[in-house]
Homo-oligomer: A and B are copies of this chain.
Amino acid sequence: MKKSEDFGEWYNEIVELAGLSDKRYPIKGMNVWTPYGWKIMQHIDRYIRHYCDDTDHHEVLFPLLIPENEFSKEKEHIKGFDAEVFWVTHAGLNPLDVKMLLRPTSETAMYPMFSVWIRSHADLPLKIYQIVNVFRYETKMTRAFIRVREIHFFESHTCHADFEDAERQIRENFEITEKLMRHLCLPYKVLKRTEWDKFPGACYTVGIDMLLPSGRSLQLGSIHQYKDNFSRPYEIKYEDEKGEHKYVHQTTFGMSERLIGAVIAVHGDDKGIIMPPDIAPYQIVVVPIPAKGSVEEVYSEAKKLAQELKNNEFRVHLDLRDVRPGNKFYDWEIKGVPLRVELGPRDIANNSCVAVRRDTGEKATIKRSELQDRVNTIIASISESLLEKATKNLENNIVDATSLDNLPEKLIRVGWCGSEECGRKIETTTDRSILGNDVSDASPRKVKCVVCGKDAENVVHLSKPM
């Protein structure tokens, strides 16, 4: 399995070998989260919760099922999702009076309640989030974490007194994204979608995009400004200081288990996945390497070493299986444990141990007296260099183009005047999608539209989305 030769095959194989997910469940696109994969997701969720709580979002849990009549209130929204929802039509032995669908996202579950909860300006901003399963009937080929039909999903929903406060929220969401992605060591782009690619019902949509080794882009999440597009049909109004009744302005922010897919795709190598230390189920695996006659001593000393590392707040696994050390190395390399610590009789005699980095293979002999400091430093350095390497790789795969001919399978930047006509032409000519312009780009260069040649302010990114 060579990652560089066939990324798609490599990805599927590595997900299985690393024990991240089991796709043998008898429904296509609905996979079992096995213990190792689920632990990774829980660490990611922990960071999401932390940053949301930290910014005064409150966690809630809404019902899974949405009655058809609530779902149908926002016309664009239902048009966008109609073809991909699962319908519950019967309960027990009887048909239901009102059909219900499994949430594909929770706007239409939450907004009827928002309309009850919000009365006055004192109730604003309302900032809530939930981490749940959502369902989409994907017809394209499924792929673990990247395209599934039951999706582990984070969604925050906020209501504001006006457009400007909703915009402030969107900037806060950018900050949360940045903090989260640092733990995953993932570089990304925040790109504003075209009018025809925005979320059904949104005023505008911003995608959080990354690049796969195959050259395709992967949307990891999205942030939407709804303005009052939903608050009007759902009657979410508040009384302002002057006693006037106004519609709230809303935003949403969503991310999914694709974050794990991105971690696998970006950091992994031919030996397996590589876990960023902050989300690794085990940050360190301790492997005893006994010689003949020293088994008991080495195992007992390895236990002490593992405990010492645990006491220093590392997540540690001590591998005492009755197999050869070489097999243990191999297994934990596939699973991407960031640091392996080996301990043999000579190490014990020297009061030291050997630490091997998963990302670079670098070995270091560490004095036991310096264990904590050295391991801390190495772990931090692994995170840094994973991000650095990935960032360099993303930059190397962004290509500025002035024509639409012979584009490589990379993230392409071109000038676009902003007209739908030229935009559509860019997309059909290149068989790529316009992901949009980089919202973090404070000083866009003056360019020409790649189609009509007019002056353009938009430098937009093109790719084939996954």
Contacts and interface: CB of A to CB of B under 8 A. Distances in A.
A90 B82 contact: no
Interface stretch (A29-37, A170-178, A329-337): A29-37
A214 interface: no
A301 interface: no
Contacts of A31: 63
A60 B152 CA distance: 13
Contact of A85 (B22, B27, B70, B91): B91
A89 B91 contact: no
Interface in A14-39: 22, 24-27, 30-35, 38-39
A164 interface: no
A35 B64 contact: no
A262 interface: no
A64 B112 contact: no
Given A83-B93, A87-B88, A38 B22 contact: no
Contacts of A139: 92
Nearest to A41: B61
> Counting chain B CB atoms within 10 Å of each CB, which of A70, A86, A137 scores highest?
A86
Contacts of A112: 25-26
Interface in A26-69: 26-27, 30-35, 38-39, 42, 58-65, 67
A42 to B, nearest CB: 8
Given A87-B90, A88-B87, A63 B30 contact: yes
A120 B386 CA distance: 39
Nearest to A42: B59
A30 B92 contact: no
A27 B66 CA distance: 8
A100 interface: yes
Contacts of A100: 27
Interface string A127-159: 010000101010100000000001010000000
> Counting chain B CB atoms within 10 Å of each CB, which of A27, A34, A152 scores highest?
A27
A255 B300 CA distance: 39
A442 to B, nearest CB: 36
Contacts of A93: 82-83
Contact of A59 (B38, B63, B102, B150): B38
Contact of A113 (B32, B82, B83, B84): B32
25 contacts: A22-B113, A24-B113, A26-B70, A27-B100, A30-B65, A31-B63, A32-B113, A33-B62, A35-B58, A35-B60, A38-B59, A38-B60, A38-B61, A61-B152, A64-B133, A64-B150, A65-B86, A82-B92, A83-B93, A85-B92, A86-B91, A87-B89, A87-B91, A89-B89, A89-B90
